[in-house]
Amino acid sequence: MLTIKHIIVHHLHKEQHKSNTQLDLSNSLLTIDESSQRLVEELNNRYGTHNNSKVTYAKFGTGTVFPSAYHEFHANQNAEAFIKFTKETIVDLEKTISGVRLAKGGYVVFTQFENNQDFTGIYIIREKKGVLFKKDKDGSFKINDTFHIDFEKIAMGCRINNSVYNNSSNRYLSFIDSRKDEVSKFFNDWISTDNNTDNVTDTKALHRVLNKIDLPLDEHGNIAISREDLLNKAFHIIKDQSRTVDIAQLSHVLYNDPDHIARYVIDNNIEMSGMFKADSATLRKFSTIKVAADNIMLSFPLKALNELVTISEAHPDMITIRSEALANKIRNESLSSQQS
């Protein structure tokens, strides 16, 4: 169950094609009740199965306000530190967005919550006709329960995994961006990502997923293809797309269900972008085994494992290769070496 720790809303007004901005800050946190619970759950659900192809992962860059302000908050994680973090960063967002004429403002929701792991979420809810949030006498925005928010229309959001932030090997930022254009680029610039898409990490993650995920079934509920054939099929699909990986498209071809792989990724808390460019060296492992040891090098198609190439379970130092053509080549090469 999702548990909210802190939530606050600030209003940053900016009209498209204009540079003027107006910032209206909340003075206190929202009350954690049914309304705020529903709001955060709906916002976090945008990271669910149907939007998985829009999720990208990253780490902080350096030299801007957001990473340092977040780092300070992460060290304390109390209500006072949370409010300070949101105010410092929203002021910086106002400076960033004023230089982007096509960008529009909105209500910026900051929240810290637990949902298996600890997260900080930041979401921009576009200004629409009607009142999304109302300011109370304490000078803070409250949720207007009578106004319906179309959460699928929220263009931008970022979720920071507080639980793995201090682990340098993890990409703790995950972005939802349905448009990925220059207008929404300001959001990433404000949060300050490293802008380096880690294709190697994503390709390795996909390789692990395809080695563990349930195999496709036929119409009778029987396993349709082997693990090796699944990996080989994925390899050729990705290769034919110039190494561009679209998880939803790949899932549709492999499972006749665009959300099958995404469900597995989400259910197992696997960090993998929904779209990326496959790393060529890692991609080869989908179809080829290439190893070297004791001055011997082997390279063969994955589908040959357990057919032409078998590893003895009884004798861990024994490998059997059944190939008359290969045996003849080795004999001929040996004879040629002896005669020279």
Q: Are residues 331 and 247 in the same domain?
A: no
Q: Are residues 165 and 242 in the same domain?
A: no
User: Which pLDDT score is estimated for 188?
Assistant: 81
Q: Are residues 246 and 327 in the same domain?
A: no
Q: Are residues 36 and 167 in the same domain?
A: yes
User: Which pLDDT score is estimated for 149?
Assistant: 65
Residue 172 within a domain: yes
Instruction: Between 10 and 331, name the one with better pLDDT.
Output: 10
Burial 280-296 (b: 16+ CB within 10 A, else e): eebbbbbbebeeeeeee
Q: Are residues 73 and 156 in the same domain?
A: yes
Q: Of 5-9, 99-103, 179-183, 263-267, which range is least confident? A: 179-183
Residue 299 within a domain: no
* Number of domains comprising the chain: 3
> Which 3-state string (H, E, C) describes 25-81?
CCCCCCCCCHHHHHHHHHHHHHHCHHHHHHEEEECECCCCHHHHHHHHHHHHCCHHH
Q: pLDDT for 54-71, tens place per residue?
A: 778 888 887 789 999 999
Q: Are residues 31 and 145 in the same domain?
A: yes
In the chain, % of residues over pLDDT 70: 89
Residue 297 within a domain: no
In the chain, % of residues over pLDDT 90: 39
User: Which pLDDT score is estimated for 75?
Assistant: 94
pLDDT band at 247 (very low <50, low <70, confident <90, very high): very high
Whole-prediction pTM value?
A: 0.72
Residue 298 within a domain: no
Alpha-carbon distance of 16 to 106, in angstroms, equals 11
Q: pLDDT for 129-169, tens place per residue?
A: 555 788 887 778 888 776 666 666 566 789 999 999 988 77
On the question of pLDDT at 50 being above 60, the answer is: no
Q: Are residues 116 and 8 in the same domain?
A: yes
Q: Are residues 146 and 20 in the same domain?
A: yes
User: Which pLDDT score is estimated for 163?
Assistant: 92
User: Which pLDDT score is estimated for 294?
Assistant: 87
Instruction: Between 139 and 25, name the one with better pLDDT.
Output: 25
Angstrom CA distances, 30 to 36, 63, 127, 145, 233, stand at 7, 31, 19, 14, 50
| Paired sense of beta strands 55-58 and 173-177, if any | antiparallel
Q: Of 42-51, 120-129, 153-162, which range is least confident? A: 42-51
Q: pLDDT for 268-292, tens place per residue?
A: 888 888 888 899 999 999 988 888 8
Q: Which distant-in-sequence residues (6+ apart) come within 8 Å of 174 by Cβ?
A: 47, 55, 56, 57, 58, 158, 159, 161, 271
Residue 39 within a domain: yes
User: 191, 86 in Cβ contact below 8 A?
Assistant: no
Query: Domain range spanning residue 73?
Result: 3-191
Tokens representing residue 266 in the block: 């989400």
Bridge partners of 3, per DSSP, are 114
pLDDT band at 313 (very low <50, low <70, confident <90, very high): confident
Residue 134 within a domain: yes
Residue 317 within a domain: yes
On the question of pLDDT at 327 being above 70, the answer is: yes
Alpha-carbon distance of 106 to 109, in angstroms, equals 9
Residue 291 within a domain: no
User: Which pLDDT score is estimated for 122?
Assistant: 94
